[in-house]
Structure 1
């Protein structure tokens, strides 16, 4: 079965983030990768995106969708409630 997910308030979210090309961003509920894709596509090689999801199908979908941005993208299979621990493990102190 193919993973399907519709991003909610995508345009509004991306606009509100005012993404900086060299910024660090976290998508705590990666789902189908809609928000993650839009963030990653706006980052330079100096930027970084960490996407978190606990669903293995979502992880596979996001990994495939964001393949063109693999140099600035990290996917983690965890619960969004673990975001602090995930960032600590990745050595990220500020976002």
Structure 2
């Protein structure tokens, strides 16, 4: 039983760690302030949580899962574009392409 509890806790930590890693990298690359960094973290955290839920819910429906994940990706892209602006998003995209 302890094993399942540990798995549950670990699954909850995973999106937070991923979101924090991306937020930290974006903060460094784009020279974001604390408020901007927190906003990026929240966007990324929601992204990873929604992504995990989609993967679980549509595990046996690969095409539906792919569509839902693509829609989520577009949503996140638009949130980042609205918050950071197109110039910062281009800078981020260039950074990711080069690394």
The normalised TM-score by structure 1 is 0.29
Greater helix share, structure number: 2
Greater strand share, structure number: 1
